[in-house]
Amino acid sequence: MKIGNNYFILFQNCIPTKGISRSIIADYQRGTHYFIPNGLYDLIGDFRLLTTNQIVEKYFDQGLTQEMFLEYLEYLEENELGHYTDTPDSFPLIEEVFETPSLIHDAIIEWSDYHKSHLSQLIKQINDVGCKFLEIRSFSGGYTSDFEEFVKLMRSTKIRGVVIYCNYIDNDLQDLENLVHEFQIITNLFLHSCNVDPITISAKPEIVITKTVLTNNNCCGYLGKEFNVNLPHYLESRNFNPCLNKKFSIDEKGMIKNCPSISANSMQTYIERSIIDQIKDASFQQIWKTTKDQIDVCMHCEFRYICGDCRSGVGISQKPRHCKYNPLIMSYEN
């Protein structure tokens, strides 16, 4: 195709994000992303409004030549990020809303004797808020029959997956493997604080023994260089905080929190006031609306809608403490 009285538009699932020094186009269908210069990002804003000819005319004074624009379009076409059309309105943009039917998507429980005395009550309340995924963290105890009792109670609930972290206590590995296979709802079992090198004894469900010592929630917040390039994550990140939205945690004393690293909102346990009542408070959900566009540094980062977030050890608008990426210089710092 040539530049003329036609339009060039990005595919609906290919969405650009501008950073301070460069931009990306994320292909949310194929789960990958491409870097583009900010100059091209600015042109993309006019793709649906102006023909390719009109774009060159408009930006000619700013140094855009036909050859340069054609090179940009060839790059986009070669990578299957966009296409020529005469009718851009026939390809409407994706509506950027994020809605799910349940009040809560996932929850983290810090395991303790307190919960062991209220297992049925706890499971009923977690089910009442529609929670689908649970993470159970035990910092000082091993895998015991208490977990099995808890997991058995989940059989008639909406919970679809459970990840368990607990101490390695010289368990019989074959027994563990048999148990995890019996309870299909357990997707991952991590046995931490072992004195041997990491061993994966089962891939699915995943059972991993690791030397990593977990004694508290400082384990939170390690955002790697792996990104979540998928449409639900993008839409959630555009509208909500991708780490805290539709999430709660319960500490060892039964207090309800937004996440393990954030202080309890009210000083009441789930026995004193139900999880659903505490979560429905506007003050509890306020933090769900803190998007990456409102967080220092992240707001200038081209990865902000494909990255996660973590509020562990930082204020509500501070960059996650373990992220080493500097969007200004476009590289990771030591």
Q: By CB under 6 A, name the binding residues for ligand SF4.
A: 223, 292, 297-298, 301, 303-304, 307, 319-320, 323, 325, 327
In 3D space, the residue among 264, 259, 263, 275 whose CA is nearest the CA of residue 308 turns out to be 259
**Alpha-carbon separation of residue 16 from 27, 69, 76, 82, 301 (angstroms):** 9, 17, 12, 11, 12
In the complex with ligand SF4, the residue whose CB is nearer, 74 or 296, is 296
* Nearest-approach distance from CB 305 to ligand SF4, in angstroms: 8
Tokens 């090198």, residue located: 197
Q: Toward ligand SF4, which CB reaches closer, 181 or 225?
A: 225
In angstroms, give the least distance from the CB of 327 to ligand SF4. Answer: 6
CA–CA distance, 97 with 232 (Å, rounded to integer):
10
Separation of alpha carbons 249 and 141, rounded Å: 19
- 143, two tokens: 């895998």
Cβ proximity to ligand SF4, 60 vs 222, nearer residue:
222
Smallest gap from residue 285 Cβ to ligand SF4 (A) = 22
Q: Which amino acid is at 51?
A: T
Nearer to ligand SF4, 104 or 297 (CB): 297
Residue found under tokens 């991952």: 188
Min dist CB 298 to ligand SF4, Å, is 3
For ligand SF4, the closer CB: 164 or 310: 310
Closest CA to 138 of 160, 116, 170: 116
- Collapse the DSSP code of 191 into the 3-class scheme (helix H, G, I; strand E, B; otherwise coil) and give the result: strand
Contact between 84 and 118 under an 8 Å Cβ cutoff? The reply is: no
DSSP run (H or E) holding 6: none
Min separation Cβ 59 and ligand SF4, Å: 29
Distance CA 92, CA 326 (A): 34
Closest distance to ligand SF4 from the beta carbon of 286 (Å)? 21
By C-beta, is 108 or 223 nearer to ligand SF4? 223
